[in-house]
A and B are shown apart, each in its own frame.
Chain A
Amino acid sequence: MLGRDNKTVLGTVVPTEPTGNRVSAAALIFLSSGLLLVVLLSTVLRTNPAVALPSFAIQTGQPCAACHIGAFGPQLTPYGRDFKLHGYVASDGKDHGLPLAWTAMASFTHTLEPQPGGAAPGFKPNDNIALDETSLYWAGRITPEVGGFIEFMFDGVSQQPQFGNVDIRHASEGELFDHDLLWGVTINNSPTVQDPWNSTPVWGFPYNRSPLAPTPMAATLVDGGLAQRAAGAGAYVLWNELLYLESDVYKGLDTGALRAVGQVPVDDGDQTTAFMPYARVALIEDWKNDHLEIGAYGISAHILPGGNQTFGLFNRVTDAALDATYQFISDPTKVTSDRLSAHATYIHEIARMEASSAETLTGMLLDHSLDTVRLDVSYSFAATVTPSVQYFRSTGTADINYWSTPNGSPNSDGMIFEVAYVPWGKPDSPFPNVNFRLAVQYVNYFRFDGSSIGARNNNNVFFSLWSAVKF
């Protein structure tokens, strides 16, 4: 459970529980790197090492709209999911050079009420223009059988360079019980970054939001709590294009590794103490015009709040979630056809707060829960104009000794309305290497951090310009 006093960062320390695994994060990174190296070498030695390494769109010769609803990431079409599950290696066979892409996002944020002291260090209380982030991606086929993406980003608000999302995978095909079997392995740095559906946290709606507007403090662990602060490896299978199964193991990065990847702050953040198992299951069905996915996912972790090992105790946090995706494609033969998509996710978190309770000595409740619900629908007109709406809600155990909200309640809910415009990324676009997304988003809170009084003060309008160039 994250959010107390805005300490939403996680890292790793030397295990303190008696049965803890003593393999350090550095060792895990080393092992992961070794695994990747083995995969790379085993593939390279069987093939020509001087293969082309283009970025996704150039590599496949496909317009953005082939993979992305609305012609701009990250919402995936059935083909986009296929491309990802097959290891990002599908190609038109041409040599396109290094697979480099660059993105940048600039924005204007207006909140209903100014934020005293400034929206962030160096920013005004209201009406801020910002370069939210700019990223350089290595994205595409690494060898004929290994592909992925690595994001190097600069956070324009915190003025901090850092690693962004990483997902590198190898996939292969076979048969099981006379039906197709796709299997693969992934190395990544954020639970659900490897997921092909947009109903899980990392790639869920909203696809971008203001870094300068207030957000509720309560969030579950799987909902971004480990993003870029853990390293994991896993395996997945897709059987008969019906059943998807995945299992991963994550390890929080230690302080040195967090500094190395640009994650700050590192000193007073929550830290994990052991390997964290992650599991995913999904049932999918594709009809001519429709795609349906119903699934579940979950993760379990031991967390030291603030990295404090004084009491030798930890908080035991478990997230169990359900999700669903539905997509309707009006004409599957045209990537610019109208597309409806809907996503739902429900995350239930339970936490045994032994460490926090011992640390505070203020009568904090031992058992906490936090539930998050998100429902969103979007309709993409000709892969150009995409209005979306989302309802979100987080409710949990009220505890004045844990949540630093006026009444001790973590409850928040509200709606997000957005309209995005993407002029290019279609088969007839004049610049196949360039695309941009112009969006206006309005966030409306019914409750904010436990209270409906003054919740609307956090409402905000967010204009964003997101551009992408594929070298």
Chain B
Amino acid sequence: MPLRLCVATAFLMGIIVAVQAASTITVGQHGLLLTQSSASIKQGDRIVFTNEDDVIHNIHIFGPGPDDSTDLGLQKPGISLTYRFDKAGTYRVRCNIHPSVRMAVTVK
């Protein structure tokens, strides 16, 4: 196999591995609760929040710094919101409307 082909193949494999390394998990808003109370993920992983209730929700992510926060806005029934966790640290996920909708996310 020519050297160039080997390098190209290796490069492509690297991309594929890198893409596969970033995973996505789905968390449901179900009965005014999140379907899991905590998650441990890697940098670059995504969480998809799916509103399975019949009322409007919100996803507000706090962290990893004490003043860092991202409000993903309102979320109608059946709608999903996705957030990619790019920084390592500890996050808190809240719904501004429903105090019981919350979870902790650890990003390594």
Contacts and interface: CB of A to CB of B under 8 A. Distances in A.
Interface of A: 60-63, 66, 78-79, 82-83, 85-86, 90-93, 288, 329, 331-336, 427
Contact of B32 (A78, A86, A93): A78
Contacts of A85: 99
B99 A86 contact: yes
A57 to B, nearest CB: 11
Interface in B4-48: 30-33
B31 A288 contact: yes
Interface residues of B, number: 19
A427 B76 CA distance: 11
A140 to B, nearest CB: 13
Nearest to A427: B54
Contact of B74 (A86, A90, A93, A335): A93
Given A90-B99, A93-B71, A93-B96, A335 B31 contact: no
Given A61-B74, A332-B30, A333-B30, A66 B96 contact: no
B32 A79 contact: yes
Dominant SS at the B interface? loop
A336 B97 CA distance: 18
Given A60-B97, A82-B100, A83-B99, A93 B58 contact: yes
A90 B71 contact: no
A236 to B, nearest CB: 15
Contacts of B71: 93
Nearest to A93: B96
B31 A61 contact: no
Contacts of A62: 55-56, 97
B55 A427 contact: yes
Contacts of B53: 333-335
A92 B97 contact: yes
A92 B58 contact: yes
Contact of B100 (A60, A78, A92): A78
A427 B55 CA distance: 7
Given A82-B98, A92-B96, 19 more contacts: A61-B56, A79-B32, A82-B100, A86-B99, A90-B96, A90-B99, A92-B58, A92-B74, A92-B97, A93-B58, A93-B71, A93-B96, A288-B31, A331-B31, A332-B30, A332-B32, A334-B53, A334-B54, A427-B54
Given A78-B100, A90-B96, A335 B54 contact: yes
Interface string B64-108: 000000010110010000000000000000001111100000000
A60 B98 CA distance: 9
A83 B96 CA distance: 11
A91 B71 CA distance: 13
Contacts of A60: 97
A152 to B, nearest CB: 27
A288 B30 CA distance: 10
23 contacts: A60-B97, A66-B55, A78-B100, A79-B32, A79-B98, A82-B98, A83-B99, A90-B96, A90-B97, A92-B56, A92-B96, A93-B71, A93-B74, A93-B96, A288-B31, A329-B31, A332-B30, A333-B52, A333-B53, A334-B54, A335-B53, A335-B54, A427-B77
Contacts of A92: 56, 58, 74, 96-97
Contacts of A90: 96-99
Nearest to A86: B99
